[in-house]
Chains A and B, each alone.
Chain A
Amino acid sequence: MWLLVEQLLNGLQLGFMLFLLSAGLTLVFGVMNLINLAHGSFYMVGAYVAATLSGAGMGYGVALLGALAAAGLCGLLVELIVLRHLYRRDHLDQVLATFGLILFFNEGVRMIWGRQPLFMQTPAWLGGSVELLPGVPYPLYRLAIIGIGLLVALGLYLLIARTRLGMRIRAGASDRQMIAALGVNIRWLYTLVFALGALMAGFAGVIAAPVFAVESGMGESILILTFVVIVIGGIGSVRGALLGALLVGLVDSLGRAYLPRLLGLLSDSEAANALAASLSSMSIYLLMALVLAIRPRGLFPA
């Protein structure tokens, strides 16, 4: 029972981190119709800058701001220099170009920081753990991730549903020619949305830095999960991204915790153990295949 609570919280934590990444990615796809494989690179840049600043003795706030600035700036430059030329192009061209960007960023990071992974300390005031229930400690930092994720989701909802900028973003997603004709500078809108997505990815990177090792290529393993999330949720839908992210986070955490036990009940052989391990790694892909087989356009098609 306590294990279940703990795993549920772990799932929520992974889910909200995935949401930070997938919200930006799904917005970029919905508004600009662009597949961006390099989205994970902003996550990586955020994590590296935060780990470096915090390693140099700066406070968590400074590290956070520095990382957000770096990730946002990278996003801005990538949009202005490369992706701007690709909006009207075939998805395949976008895949190839952003694949090139991944190589560039991964190697660039290796040139600056070397091949050794970095580690970042959890800020002191978020260290330690709290007792959720008597005898069930849970790390405070992980709880904070869930809280922050909730806040960002709420903020994003307000931004998109309640502000003028959000109105323009929604309008850009549904009819770009019309909104351009109404006098909105669509180019800057695109740049802004892209930078916003990069900013959120960088934020996810900062949050992830104390939990995972900060290393070159860290963006890709999570990028695949992010794509799974937005495909399950329905591409272009922020609501779908939230639901998909939580679903993927929960299925992954619960699968890893309970599948080996379930299979262990049936058979206790080594083969069953190995099968359980591979099944729990597969579980989110099974989930995605299942969702797409039943609803080919995801849960909330935009």
Chain B
Amino acid sequence: MLRGPSALRLRVLLGGGLLLLLVWPWISALFGGDYLVSVMTRVLIFAIAAISLDLIVGYGALVSFGHAAFLGLGAYVAAISAFHASEGLPLAFGFSGSESLLVNLPLAMAVAALVACVTGLICLRTQGIHFIMITLAFAQMLYYLFVSLDAYGGEDGLVLPARNSLPLLDTADDRQFYFLCLGLLLLYLYLAHRLVNSRFGRVLRGSRANETRMRALGYNTYGYRLAAYVIAATGAPLAGVLLASKTEFVDPGLFSWQLSGELLVMVILGGMGSLYGAVIGAAAFLLLEQWLAAWTEHWMFFLGPFLVLVVVRARHGLWGVLTGNGQ
């Protein structure tokens, strides 16, 4: 879609960004150690969640205000499964839990897909602000459900025995875990890119632009939307499992509407409907938060007006500014 100087600029941006991420652990070693690796790992994880949200917000105009619920589900699946494995308690259906990412990751995605199927059937009957609110409602229900699960810590949350493991890799090592997250982010970005440029992605964008026409052409737009909703819902648990592993802790706050709001902010701030924008947005939001928090206790007082300024000044988010498509 981008031609001329823009295409060159795009390549420079993507190449530069990738290079920066690849050498980041060594850069941070220069500037005083592992703290910066941990910060960037968080960015990579949230970038995955933001991309998955961008799939429906940016390409299907389905503004979900409950996307954090799927992230939380992923995190809790990883935590509960690891908890049962380490305590030796059977979980369900003869499954006694696992501490391996190879088991927990697909399991988390399957659970999220199942929940998304059921809630999506109802949510997608509505549109616009009603869709925003009904997704919020389901996320709140899950929030209260996990608050009430006393066996898994209730409101206080659950501490993981250790990071979920992977053969051949030492996930307890911060640097190796960083590259695991980076690898998964790149893989997910590639898959998402393929998806939005496929026939499926074009139908989705078509139904966003003119639903009546797509229906007249014989497409079941409801079915396509539902599929997109479920696909997006399987991306967030990927981030959730990684986040649970990174912090070795989960709590119901992962389902909170604040986190859903922050994910939306990342997508909009970066510029929706471009996938790369979601990555930029996650990085900008989290890094700015870190930087301001180190500088002043009252960082939100400055972050807030900055967000307002971005909205009023830059129409296509930071990605639009970077690629020169801002106006």
Report A's interface with B, CB cutoff 8 A.
Answer: 29, 35, 37, 82, 85-86, 89, 91-93, 95-97, 99-108, 110-111, 220, 224, 227-228, 231, 235, 270, 274-275, 277-278, 281-282, 285-286, 288-289, 292-293, 296-298
Q: What residue in chain A is nearest B63 (Cβ atoms)?
A: A92
Q: What residue in chain A is nearest B307 (Cβ atoms)?
A: A100
Q: Are B130 and A274 neighbours in the complex by a CB distance under 8 Å?
A: no
A35 to B63, CA, bound (A): 13
Q: Give chain A residues whose Cβ lies under 8 Å from the Cβ of B311.
A: 86, 89, 93, 96-97, 100
Known: A101-B308, A106-B300. A227 touches B133 (CB 8 A): yes
A217 to B299, CA, bound (A): 15
Q: What residue in chain A is nearest B122 (Cβ atoms)?
A: A293
Known: A96-B307, A103-B307. A289 touches B301 (CB 8 A): no
Q: Give chain A residues whose Cβ lies under 8 Å from the Cβ of B140.
A: 224, 282, 285
A102 to B308, CA, bound (A): 11
Q: Give chain B residues whose Cβ lies under 8 Å from the Cβ of A285.
A: 137-138, 140-141, 144
A298 to B122, CA, bound (A): 14
Q: Are A92 and B150 neighbours in the complex by a CB distance under 8 Å?
A: no
Q: Are B301 and A296 neighbours in the complex by a CB distance under 8 Å?
A: no
A96 to B308, CA, bound (A): 7
Q: Are B301 and A103 neighbours in the complex by a CB distance under 8 Å?
A: yes
Task: Out of B125, B144, B305, B312, name the residue touching A104 (CB < 8 Å).
Answer: B305
Task: Out of B63, B137, B145, B308, name the residue touching A288 (CB < 8 Å).
Answer: B137
Q: Are B312 and A278 neighbours in the complex by a CB distance under 8 Å?
A: no
Q: What residue in chain A is nearest B257 (Cβ atoms)?
A: A224
Q: Are A91 and B307 neighbours in the complex by a CB distance under 8 Å?
A: no
Q: Please list the 3 inter-chain residue pairs (A to B) with the smallest Cβ-Cβ separation, ordered nearest first.
A: A100-B307, A278-B148, A104-B304
Q: Give chain B residues whose Cβ lies under 8 Å from the Cβ of A108.
A: 301
Can you list 17 A-B pairs with a CB-CB distance of less than 8 A?
A35-B129, A92-B272, A93-B311, A95-B63, A97-B308, A97-B311, A99-B307, A100-B305, A104-B301, A104-B308, A107-B298, A111-B301, A228-B133, A228-B137, A278-B147, A289-B122, A289-B138
A97 to B264, CA, bound (A): 12
Q: Give chain B residues whose Cβ lies under 8 Å from the Cβ of A286.
A: 141
Q: What residue in chain B is nearest A216 (Cβ atoms)?
A: B300
1/0 contact string of B122-151 vs chain A (CB within 8 Å) = 100111111011101110110011011110
Q: Are A96 and B298 neighbours in the complex by a CB distance under 8 Å?
A: no
Q: Using a Cβ–Cβ cut-off of 8 Å, how many residues does chain B contribute to the interface with A?
A: 45
Known: A95-B268, A289-B137. A103 touches B304 (CB 8 A): yes
Q: Are A231 and B304 neighbours in the complex by a CB distance under 8 Å?
A: no
Q: Give chain A residues whose Cβ lies under 8 Å from the Cβ of B300.
A: 103-104, 106-107
Task: Out of A85, A96, A106, A282, name the residue touching B264 (CB < 8 Å).
Answer: A96
Known: A82-B312, A228-B133, A274-B149. A100 touches B306 (CB 8 A): yes
Q: Is B206 located at the chain interface by the 8 A CB criterion?
A: no
Q: Give chain B residues whose Cβ lies under 8 Å from the Cβ of A278.
A: 144-145, 147-148
Task: Out of A35, A99, A231, A282, name the residue touching B145 (CB < 8 Å).
Answer: A282
Q: Give chain B residues whose Cβ lies under 8 Å from the Cβ of A86.
A: 311-312
Those of B138-173 within 8 Å (CB) of chain A: 138, 140-141, 144-145, 147-150, 154
Known: A235-B129, A292-B125, A298-B130. A274 touches B148 (CB 8 A): yes
1/0 contact string of B257-296 vs chain A (CB within 8 Å) = 1100100110011001000000000000000000000000
Interface of B is mostly: helix
Q: Give chain B residues whose Cβ lies under 8 Å from the Cβ of A270.
A: 150
Q: Give chain B residues whose Cβ lies under 8 Å from the Cβ of A277.
A: 148
A40 to B170, CA, bound (A): 46
Q: What residue in chain A is nearest B310 (Cβ atoms)?
A: A96
Q: Give chain A residues whose Cβ lies under 8 Å from the Cβ of B268.
A: 92-93, 95-96
Q: Is B303 located at the chain interface by the 8 A CB criterion?
A: yes
Q: Give chain A residues whose Cβ lies under 8 Å from the Cβ of B141.
A: 282, 285-286, 289
A95 to B63, CA, bound (A): 10
Q: What residue in chain A is nearest B267 (Cβ atoms)?
A: A92
Q: Are A95 and B127 neighbours in the complex by a CB distance under 8 Å?
A: no
Q: Is B244 located at the chain interface by the 8 A CB criterion?
A: no
A161 to B200, CA, bound (A): 49
Q: Are A289 and B261 neighbours in the complex by a CB distance under 8 Å?
A: no
Task: Out of B136, B144, B306, name the residue touching A281 (CB < 8 Å).
Answer: B144
Q: Give chain B residues whose Cβ lies under 8 Å from the Cβ of A227.
A: 133, 136
| A98 CB to nearest B CB, Å | 8
Known: A82-B312, A108-B301, A277-B148. A96 touches B269 (CB 8 A): yes
Q: Give chain B residues whose Cβ lies under 8 Å from the Cβ of A104.
A: 300-301, 304-305, 308
1/0 contact string of B19-63 vs chain A (CB within 8 Å) = 000000000000000000000000000000000000001000001
Q: Looking at A29, A100, A105, A277, which has the most chain B CB atoms within 10 Å of its CB? A: A100
Q: What residue in chain A is nearest B266 (Cβ atoms)?
A: A96
Q: Give chain B residues whose Cβ lies under 8 Å from the Cβ of A105.
A: 304
| A232 CB to nearest B CB, Å | 9
Q: Are A100 and B304 neighbours in the complex by a CB distance under 8 Å?
A: yes
Q: What residue in chain A is nearest B305 (Cβ atoms)?
A: A104
| A44 CB to nearest B CB, Å | 14
Q: Give chain B residues whose Cβ lies under 8 Å from the Cβ of A37.
A: 261
| A217 CB to nearest B CB, Å | 9
Q: Give chain A residues whose Cβ lies under 8 Å from the Cβ of B137.
A: 228, 285, 288-289, 292
Q: Give chain A residues whose Cβ lies under 8 Å from the Cβ of B261.
A: 37, 95, 99
Task: Out of A89, A107, A293, A297, name the residue touching B304 (CB < 8 Å).
Answer: A107
